[in-house]
Amino acid sequence: MGAAKTAPTGYNCWFRPVRFAVPGHCRIVAGGQARAAPRRGQVFSGPSEFSIFSPYLRMTETAATRRARLVLGNWKMHGSLAENASLLAALRAADPASHCEIGVCVPFPYLAQASAALEGSAISWGAQDVSAQAKGAFTGEVSAGMLKEFGCRWALAGHSERRSLHGETDQQVADKASAALAAGLVPVVCVGESLSERESGQTLAVIARQLAPVLALGREAVAGMVLAYEPVWAIGTGLSATPEQAQEVHAAIRAALTELGAPEVRVLYGGSVKAANAASLFAMADIDGALVGGAALVAEEFLRIAAN
């Protein structure tokens, strides 16, 4: 691993000290005191090893603790029965050993088709939204229990298009995630800043605000989720955050998860992900996969992303 790197004295990740605890090993407090260690930020060798250094925290994980890569496709409002049949058949025909864990989030009317086409395969499926309500007079809503009956594993919550076009609040997103969990689904909670927010230096503050009611659900709830960072300015624009820009935000999210006691939660990147840029994004320490939009509609491109 080379020479040990040390964190600058007094450096706090994001907005408060972050504690990393490894059972049976040491504990390091970023920006505070190092316990059971000769100096702050030391790289430890052994079954669990990690380092903390500027400009943000980075976990150096062993194979035993590495988070499995996940690539999810968000079809948005695209597809037809004929188009879907071809796409789903191509995905199912791919050798599972040739790609990481993959899934598709399809429009509500096509859940039965996805279930029938993918049942028994290595590919999971899910929905692009979920109601916070279990049942009742909520015209147009679809409950988590209904999604579960179609074999869904995933339910997106808080995608930027839902936040901006339908006025979903941070608390409503957390309520949807909670409802998904209660039905046995895995909520994929999306967060991200607008271009103006990034340009004004508010990125981390926006992410912290969006995550606050989700993290308030507690460690056990959050441990059952997947998070996705999707900068709004990169969704469907052809623009993409650089790997370093994405990693900075992912590291801040990871720090908050670690403070909560759920560092194992996977954090995906979304925003014009393509086969051409996937490898460089996945090389970042805290990017655990991708939430893919347009490229998920082309089987070959989607599988190439998942193969990185």
Residue 230 appears among annotated catalytic residues:
yes
Element (H, E) at 189: strand 186-191
Q: How many CA atoms lie within 13 A of 144 on its CB side?
A: 22
Q: Which of 168, 230, 259, 301 is catalytic?
A: 230
247 Cβ contact partners less than 8 Å away, ≥ 6 residues apart = 56, 284, 285, 286, 287
Please give the backbone phi and psi of residue 103, each rounded to the nearest 5 degrees, phi first.
Answer: -155, 165
CA 17, CA 24: separation in Å to the nearest integer?
A: 21
> 258: helix, coil or strand?
helix
Instruction: Please give the Cα distance from 173 to 221 (Å, whole number).
Output: 14
Indicate if 159 belongs to the active site.
Answer: yes
From 99, 159, 168, 250, active-site residue: 159
Relative to beta strand 186-191, strand 154-157 is parallel
H-helix segments, the chain: 81-93, 111-118, 144-149, 160-166, 170-182, 195-199, 203-215, 219-222, 243-260, 275-282, 299-307
Looking from the CA of 76 toward its CB, the CA atoms found within 13 Å total 13
The residues carrying an active-site annotation are: 159, 230
